[in-house]
Structure 1
Amino acid sequence: MDFERVGFVVIVAILCGACMSPFAAAQTGGPFAIRIACGSTVDSVANETGYAWSKDTGYSGGKGAAAPATNRIAGHLHTLRYFESTDGPQSCYNISVPSGHYLTRFFFTFGETDNAGQEPVFEVSVEGTLVYSLTSGWSSMVDNEYGDSLLHITDGAATICFHSSGHGNPAIGSLEILQLYVDAYNMGSSANLNVVMRTIKRVTAGAAQSGYGSRMHADAWGGDRYWATDQTLFAPGSPIGVLRTEANISNFGNPPNIYPQAIYQSATTTEPSNKLSYIVPVQPGQNYSIWLHFAEIAPEVTGPGMRVFNVMANDALLFPAVDIVNITGSPFRALILNKTITAESRTLTISFVPLKGSVAVNAFEVFHVIPREYASFDENVWALQAIKQSQNLPPRLGWNGDPCVPPVHPWIGVKCVFDALAGAWFVSSLALDQQGVGGVLGDAWVGLRQLQSLNLSKNLLVGEIPSSFGNMSSLTSLDLSHNRLNGSIPSTLGQLVILKELLLNDNLLSGEVPPALGALLIRGASLNVANNPGLCGVGIGPCTHMSASEKLALILSLVIGSAILASCAMFLWIKHKASSRGAQRLPRDAPYAKARTTFVRDVQMARSMLQNHFSRPAPTYTEATPLNPH
């Protein structure tokens, strides 16, 4: 065991009243608690505890079904919620809670409707951190049907996601979010803020039966934790004994660590020459926090030095020469010892080795200390959620929870990069080609300011390319090909100075390709705008400078001019036909012809007489005698 990596070591002797932290002291009133009966359509109240159970709420999808009556820890469960492949690879609950320290608890089950009676395999993350892996065979052990973890929630919502492995439908019977004092299980400094403490074992030694804190009349601030008896951990005939008392234990529930008095009123013991060991399955290389609970309840042990023992972890000394009465000052006073260690093998053996007298253990807890995943930038999450709605993404994509964490379960089509300086993940690539993405592109995409590659090809996009795309300055590749985008290409795309690939081919784009995009070709980048019938310019061919209205006017002029010419031609043809018919002669013996001939002859004779008369020479006039005026 690598004790150089042992984090914080604390011995908490609850003597004469423990000191509360300023924050814990300020937490007044009852703790926040929400209990959800997954799959239920009605609110209910538990008969034994009086706790209110809410109908199913806060889920992203899935279906409700009846739960089998075989849950050995949560007999009150009658329904469940399960998530099919059509709900996507991850489905989540998102529950609003005040910021604080919480115990989250889950009961896992499955049945005929949800999984045809076959055990599903899936994983569960809490606040983006992978906490539970339900691998094949999990349902054969009662401990695997139940899980709880401790963590701080600082963003006003608890997000619990179920990640499908493709083997069955993830299913959940109930979930609870129960508030604790903010300094409960404090491992020192701000360590608790950065970890999830998953419960591996929580044992009440020597107890006749397992039970919840509420059954043991524990304070509500204790989170109503489930305590399992250790009687099933020993083989029949093991040399162990049991100590029990009804005497009061002092200082067992001083904030911030609230425990039921009952766990200190029983103990498992051995003969003075025998050690007592518990074996806990663990993962090599992982950190585990061990919390040991003691109270001297044997009537024969009344002072220091009468019961002394070492505490070992995989044969390495954890706590030397533990003398409960010496530390607490008297019998029937609670003592808590805590240390965090690193496991080197797949088992953690906690041994109590007697030095004087016999050993006695009242209770212990083992937590897997899981470093919390850093979340994605809020702006990225909000942008992707807005895109999910506006682009009508199919439910099978999932897109629930955090897009980047857990890292082993990113969203479909999403690639992320960790920004160590900012301590957050950002979306670096979106590959959503051939995913049925529809609708009109909006400005939500600009929220992905660090996006480097965007592929939306071969989808159902319509409308224009937003000019705001020119603000996505980190883009190196943009593929919008094979859609039904129309309108002109925004000139702002020329602002993308590091763009190496721009594919807009096979759309309905029109107008002139912005000259600024010609710089792409100069930089050696790829530009494809083919198969857009209305486009011209860079990469297509020269454009005329005639506007659309001018083109329309020209077409109308040609049509009207053609119509006028056709009308004139028709008019002249009709007139010509009429003239041809009038010029034809009728027969001379026709009555009309005779009258007309006589009339013409008379006119010709009159014309001849007048011509002869006016053609004779004028008479010669001579001077004559003037006329008599009288």
Structure 2
Amino acid sequence: MGRQSMLFQLLFSCILFSGVSAEIGSPVAIRIACGSTESSTSPDGKLWLKDTGYSGGKTAIIKTRNVLAPQTSTARYFEMSDGPENCYNITTQNGHYHLRFFFAFGSADNSDLEPQFDVSLEGTLVFSLITGWGGSRGLSYPEALLYVEDGAVTACFHSSGHGNPSISSFEISQIDEQAYAPGSSWSHHVVLKVVKRVSCSEKNLRGYESRAGASVWGGDRFWDSDLGLDKGPTDSLTTTERINNTSVAPNFYPESIYQSASITSTGASVSYNIQIEPNQNYSLWFHFAEISSGIAAKEQRVFDILVNSQLIFPDVDIIGLAGAKFTALVLNKTVFVEGKTLVITFRPVQGSILVNAFEVYQLVRMEYTTDPKEVWALQALKNSLALPPRVGWNGDPCVPQEHPWNGINCGFHFDKGGWFIDGLDLDNQGLKGHIAKDISYLTNLQSINISGNSLYGQIPPEFGNLTNLVVLDLAYNALNGSIPETFGNLPRLKKLYLNGNRLSGAVPGILLAGPMHGASFNFSDNPGLCGIPGVRSCGFVLASGAKVGIAFGAFIFAMVAVTCGFCLWKRRQNIARSQRITTTRSAAYAKSRTQFTKDLQLARMHDLGSPYRERDPYREDEPI
């Protein structure tokens, strides 16, 4: 999960729990007015919290009145630009919960056209809103029971391409741990989807338990009337007498459902026809209390209960089983139904038929979820890769199986009982981020294709942890730095495409042998990359630390050489200057000294009458 989503969830959780009763022993109750910018209180005194700050979707005004929160008139809707799946993640304590939604639409969100979409709870597809849901209370106000074991209720809305999913309210009510699951080992692994909850009697119209003063541990269930059901002729019977054994653990039924009933004439049967999904398991709950003044003892009213002509409860004697008149009796049975119609038949054995209420739940087996470690890794990648909102990536990546994440391939661990990620296919998606090292937690990955985007930064060495990787395509991005040596830790790697990036340095030697073993590697169009066979060799390649040391040493040597050269040149200049001065002085002294010596010698020869004096050629008497 991304940082923004995490911050929102923490903030939202604090806001939500401000509306939860702090009374010890009280159940958790969270009510959200979707799309509302302000929290409000409904006429029955319930606090409805705003959902402002939710990271996705938009708000719109709806025309349909919300009978649960008439003070609100908003909805949150999700366009395709928001992604194919959008989720509410509501932090709460672990436990058993009753969930109810109100779906509505308007002009701004859907141009007054009924959208079609799916709703998943805890990764399991539970509701499908198909054509006509807007005119059905059961479809526009769907309910379900489930267990929360990871500290949050997750509800996701999946687009089908027919309009924008739109939700007006979301209720979460805690119920007893054993409610609707007495001694059932499967209870924590199924969602009970409400199909019908009927309080019989044409005089007892629909209503919510909270408005009848029922226990808060009941989850504020909605009870419809059997008016309009295909059941045959019946009369209505009511009483004001108190009913025993009603609001008791674990189901805390309201007394009012036992104070009215549909009754037939003596010897007549009654059947209820209910449309269902075929080939599913259904949990049936029947409620009885003898309230007729004409019946005072056991064996005066006896009947059989059949489902699709199969006898499931023979010889039901209300007083005999309950122990007394005006005492509640509850019978439960789970059946498998192949067809699209569930027919509940009450067949008389003695006297007439009396039915107070009944419930029908579809058992939806919960999906195995994806390894939480891998979900968190994908959320980290979602942020680092800067996935555009249209891609989605909300909820669980592999479930519901009808709505996997875009660009995700899933596999199933039969031994561990869970989903894992074995492929990423995000080529040409306009990604402009970087590859987070958290990708190393996706240890089951066999194929990665993130080519044709604008990813920058270095290739994380953590890729070396993906030992199941067979295909890695990072071509045509803007990745820089060197190719990690850890790629040598990928024994199954057969296709490696790093061409068209800005990588530099030497190709790890262990990768060069790949093509010799049938692998296909491409390192071209990386100007700074060397060691590519037939393209460019690296020569003597030094480690980066050695390169830095050599460069620093060369700089120091150059500085010393320049300094020494300058000093030598200066010394030579000084010597030359001295020589010029000395030569000039010596030459003048030598000239004067030579002339002086010559004059002195001539003077001496003249004075001494030297025979070697110069002869006068014009004197004949001079001896030669």
TM surpasses 0.5:
yes
Match in the other structure for 1:37 = 33
Q: Distance in 1 between matches of 2:379 and 2:497?
A: 25
User: Structure 1 residues 261, 116: closer, same or farther in 2, change over 3 A?
Assistant: same
Match in the other structure for 1:54 = 49
Match in the other structure for 1:590 = none
Q: Distance in 1 between matches of 2:273 and 2:418?
A: 38
Tell me the matched-pair count. 536
Contact preservation (8 Å) 2:304, 2:347: yes
Contact preservation (8 Å) 1:311, 1:351: yes
Q: Which amino acid aligns with 1:43?
A: S
1:549-593 deviation line (CA, Å, top 9, x unaligned): 599979x99xx9xxx9xxxxxxxxxxxxxxxxxxxxxxxxxxxxx
Contact preservation (8 Å) 1:289, 1:339: yes
Matches within 5 A, 1:74-113: 75-113=70-108
Deviates more, 1:536-545 or 1:278-287: 536-545
Partner of residue 231 from structure 1, selected from 224, 227, 252: 227
Match in the other structure for 1:351 = 345
Deviates more, 1:413-422 or 1:539-548: 539-548
Q: Distance in 1 between matches of 2:76 and 2:219?
A: 24
Match in the other structure for 2:579 = none
1:405 aligns with 2:390: no
Q: Distance in 2 between matches of 1:546 and 1:472?
A: 28
RMSD, aligned α-carbons:
2.4
Deviates more, 1:542-551 or 1:135-144: 542-551
Matches within 5 A, 1:329-348: 329-348=323-342
Contact preservation (8 Å) 2:64, 2:104: no
Shift of 1:391: 1.8
Match in the other structure for 1:502 = 496
1:278 aligns with 2:278: no
User: Structure 1 residues 504, 494: closer, same or farther in 2, change over 3 A?
Assistant: same
Q: Which amino acid aligns with 2:296?
A: T
Match in the other structure for 2:215 = 219
Matches within 5 A, 1:290-369: 290-369=284-363
1:146 aligns with 2:141: yes
Deviates more, 1:113-122 or 1:66-75: 66-75
Q: Distance in 2 between matches of 1:378 and 1:519?
A: 37
Matches within 5 A, 1:106-505: 106-206=101-201, 207-234=203-230, 239-505=233-499
Q: Point out 4+ residue stretches in structure 1 off by more than 2 angstroms.
A: 57-60, 69-77, 140-143, 187-190, 538-541, 546-554
Q: Distance in 2 between matches of 1:112 and 1:550?
A: 67
Contact preservation (8 Å) 1:67, 1:77: no
1:40-67 deviation line (CA, Å, top 9, x unaligned): 11111111x2111111157441011112
1:465-502 deviation line (CA, Å, top 9, x unaligned): 11111111111111100000111111111110111111
The SS at the match of 1:369 is strand
Q: Which amino acid aligns with 1:89?
A: P
Shift of 1:177: 0.6
Q: Distance in 1 between matches of 2:549 and 2:166?
A: 64
Match in the other structure for 1:12 = none
1:62-121 deviation line (CA, Å, top 9, x unaligned): 011112134567645411110011110000000001000000100111000100000101
1:7-60 deviation line (CA, Å, top 9, x unaligned): xxxxxxxxxxxxxxxxxxxx961100100000011111111x211111115744
The SS at the match of 2:217 is helix
User: Structure 1 residues 546, 123: closer, same or farther in 2, change over 3 A?
Assistant: closer
Shift of 1:406: 0.3
Q: Distance in 2 between matches of 1:194 and 1:125?
A: 15
Q: TM-score, normalised by structure 2?
A: 0.82
1:545 aligns with 2:540: yes
The SS at the match of 1:214 is helix
Q: Distance in 1 between matches of 2:251 and 2:549?
A: 82
Q: Distance in 1 between matches of 2:24 and 2:357?
A: 28
The SS at the match of 1:131 is strand
Partner of residue 510 from structure 2, selected from 512, 516, 524: 516
Q: Distance in 1 between matches of 2:275 and 2:312?
A: 18
Q: Which amino acid aligns with 2:160?
A: S
Q: Distance in 1 between matches of 2:439 and 2:349?
A: 68
Q: Which amino acid aligns with 1:30?
A: S
Shift of 1:189: 3.0
Q: Which amino acid aligns with 1:136?
A: T
Q: Distance in 2 between matches of 1:58 and 1:30?
A: 28
Unpaired segments ≥5 residues, structure 2? 1-22, 563-597, 613-624
Contact preservation (8 Å) 2:285, 2:358: yes
Deviates more, 1:184-193 or 1:331-340: 184-193
Q: Distance in 2 between matches of 1:348 and 1:189?
A: 23
User: Structure 1 residues 550, 428: closer, same or farther in 2, change over 3 A?
Assistant: closer
Matches within 5 A, 1:586-605: none
The SS at the match of 1:160 is strand
Q: Which amino acid aligns with 1:408?
A: E
Q: Distance in 1 between matches of 2:240 and 2:45?
A: 25
Q: Which amino acid aligns with 1:437?
A: L
Contact preservation (8 Å) 1:43, 1:52: yes
User: Structure 1 residues 110, 442: closer, same or farther in 2, change over 3 A?
Assistant: same
Q: Which amino acid aligns with 2:238?
A: R
The SS at the match of 1:125 is strand
Contact preservation (8 Å) 2:42, 2:70: no
1:371-417 deviation line (CA, Å, top 9, x unaligned): 00011101001101111112211111111001111011011000111
Q: Distance in 1 between matches of 2:424 and 2:445?
A: 8
Q: Which amino acid aligns with 2:520?
A: S
Shift of 1:437: 1.8
Q: Which amino acid aligns with 1:267?
A: A
Contact preservation (8 Å) 1:416, 1:425: yes
Q: Distance in 2 between matches of 1:301 and 1:550?
A: 102
The SS at the match of 1:300 is coil
Q: Percent identity?
A: 49
Q: Which amino acid aligns with 2:37?
A: T
Shift of 1:451: 1.0
Deviates more, 1:433-442 or 1:218-227: 433-442
The SS at the match of 1:169 is coil
1:569-628 deviation line (CA, Å, top 9, x unaligned): xxxxxxxxxxxxxxxxxxxxxxxxxxxxxxxxxxxxx9xxx9xx9xxxx979xxxxxxxx
Q: Which amino acid aligns with 2:188?
A: L
Q: TM-score, normalised by structure 1?
A: 0.81
Higher relative contact order (CA 8 A, sep 6+): 1
Shift of 1:171: 0.3
Q: Which amino acid aligns with 1:364?
A: F
Match in the other structure for 1:10 = none
Q: Distance in 1 between matches of 2:548 and 2:221?
A: 80
Contact preservation (8 Å) 1:494, 1:516: yes
